[in-house]
Structure 1
Amino acid sequence: MAKQDRAIRTRQSILEAAAVVFDERGYDAATITEILARAEVTKGALYFHFASKEELALAVIDAQMMTDMPAAEPGRASKMQELVDMGMIFAHRLLVDPLLRGSVRLTLEHGSTNLNRSGPFHGWTELHTRVLAEGKERGEVLPHVVPADTAELIVGAYAGINTMSQAINNRADLERRATILYEHVMPSVAVPSVLARLDMAPGRGARALAEAERQRLRAAEAEAALEAAPAGVG
């Protein structure tokens, strides 16, 4: 088990180091030598986990969809708030998560045609489609909305503001741009009663993560209290 844990940590270290190099240099200019130096691992260790630079880059790209989104608090947050939170949390994490930044750089850059960058676009579109469809079933979405079409629009527009923000000021204003995007799009998606309650302001990403952490702590405390209760009580 210790050996397996060590292998998992090594793989993660390589991924994170590669993400930093890819973010700084792009796919074509990045070298295995730079990644090895950043990760402080041997070439054998790297090739044990990844057969090539392309396979390593694809793993970094895939990591973008591996990040868990915090669950909405039962009975409070709507599916449309969940939709907005996906983008706001993403913007917040881009400022603090090197692996996510490297993944996004690889996904959006124009470089080697050998690298399949379509995975995150398909993944985010499918996720948005599902949330929109669930919201429509709950009566949160306007009747004319086609979930798949709206999902493609939001994901494509978000990629655009992400690219623009990166080019202008290294994503320092991405949350503001995301807010503007949602303020323009959501009135055409959500019913008025839901729209009026949506939190789309800059900083929502950090607030949503803080809410999720409080929810996680409450659940852990409730579970611990249940386990500590004497047998037969309740």
Structure 2
Amino acid sequence: MAKQDRAVRTRQELIRSAAEAFSRGGFALSSLTDISARAGVSSGALHFHFASKRALGEAVETAAAQTLRRIIAQSPLGHPVPLQTLVDTSHVLAQRLVDDVVLRAGFGLGSDATWREGVELWGEWHSWVRSVLTLARRRGNLATDVVLDDVVSAVTAAVVGFEVLGRADAEWCSRRSLTRFWALMLPRLSSDRLRTELDPEGTGAGMWPEEAAVVPEAG
């Protein structure tokens, strides 16, 4: 059991080390030698767990996707105000992008021209945003003249932008930045009856239980 536990920990360290390397210099410029050294393991141990750098990239994306799905799953779609759910979840996601290098690297790979795989985290986020805003429309949360496709695109693009800018300056992914964004957007998006009830700071952002990134075990 102890040997198996060590193997799991080694694999997790390699995924985190790869995520740090991809975040710093991109996929193409990251070397397996540097990744193994930063994880504190030999090149042989790395190749025991991962046959190639691409396999490491796939593991980073998979772990990031699982974390994103957990963040989304924590969001109560049964909330009577889905628009507030969207605000809250965007805060949680932004904070996790700052704190969780594996999640950040997974999103970063999606915009890396040297990496083309099939997870597409931004696509998953976009789909979830659409589902929440569709529900918000049904519940009467949105102003009648709001075009759903326009809102989905604007919210997705804004969070994408915060993530990209946040790689150089974490302030872009801060609660303060997201609050300013929602304070600007919510009066335009929300119905008259909700306009004074919505909280751009998030009703649970920063207070939800933090969970470690999900690093999948070898299959």
CA displacement at 1:18 relative to structure 2: 0.9
TM alignment of 1:68-147, pairs within 5 A = 68-69=70-71, 71-72=74-75, 78-109=81-112, 111-112=113-114, 114-116=115-117, 119-147=120-148
The change in CA–CA distance for 1:46 and 1:198 in structure 2 (over 3 A counts) is farther
The one-letter code matched in structure 2 to 1:133 is T
Contact 1:107 1:117 in 2 (8 A): no
Contact 1:108 1:163 in 2 (8 A): no
The one-letter code matched in structure 2 to 1:43 is S
CA distance in 2, matches of 1:187, 1:118: 34
CA displacement at 1:201 relative to structure 2: 2.6
Normalised to the residue count of structure 1, the TM-score between the two structures is 0.72
The residue aligned with 1:150 is 151
The residue aligned with 1:162 is 163
The change in CA–CA distance for 1:55 and 1:202 in structure 2 (over 3 A counts) is same
Query: How big is each residue's C-alpha offset from its partner over 1:99-131, in whole Å with a ceiling of 9 and x where there is no partner?
Result: 22322333344x42x433770121101111111
The residue aligned with 1:227 is none
TM alignment of 1:195-210, pairs within 5 A = 195-201=195-201, 205-207=205-207, 209=208
Unpaired runs of at least 5, structure 2: 212-219
User: Greater shift after overlay, 157-166 or 68-77?
Assistant: 68-77
The residue aligned with 2:214 is none
Unpaired runs of at least 5, structure 1: 214-234
The one-letter code matched in structure 2 to 1:189 is L
The one-letter code matched in structure 2 to 1:93 is R
CA distance in 2, matches of 1:73, 1:160: 25
CA displacement at 1:60 relative to structure 2: 1.6
User: Greater shift after overlay, 70-79 or 13-22?
Assistant: 70-79
CA distance in 1, matches of 2:75, 2:119: 28
Contact 2:77 2:132 in 1 (8 A): no
The one-letter code matched in structure 2 to 1:38 is R
Contact 1:141 1:191 in 2 (8 A): yes
Identity %: 31
CA distance in 1, matches of 2:77, 2:26: 41
The change in CA–CA distance for 1:190 and 1:63 in structure 2 (over 3 A counts) is farther
The change in CA–CA distance for 1:173 and 1:126 in structure 2 (over 3 A counts) is closer
Is the partner of 2:131 in helix, strand or coil?
helix
CA distance in 2, matches of 1:5, 1:146: 51
Cα RMSD of the aligned pairs, angstroms, is: 3.2
Is the partner of 2:170 in helix, strand or coil?
coil
CA displacement at 1:34 relative to structure 2: 0.9
CA distance in 2, matches of 1:87, 1:66: 17
The one-letter code matched in structure 2 to 1:90 is L
CA displacement at 1:84 relative to structure 2: 1.0
**Rg larger for:** 1
The residue aligned with 1:53 is 53
CA distance in 1, matches of 2:136, 2:191: 10
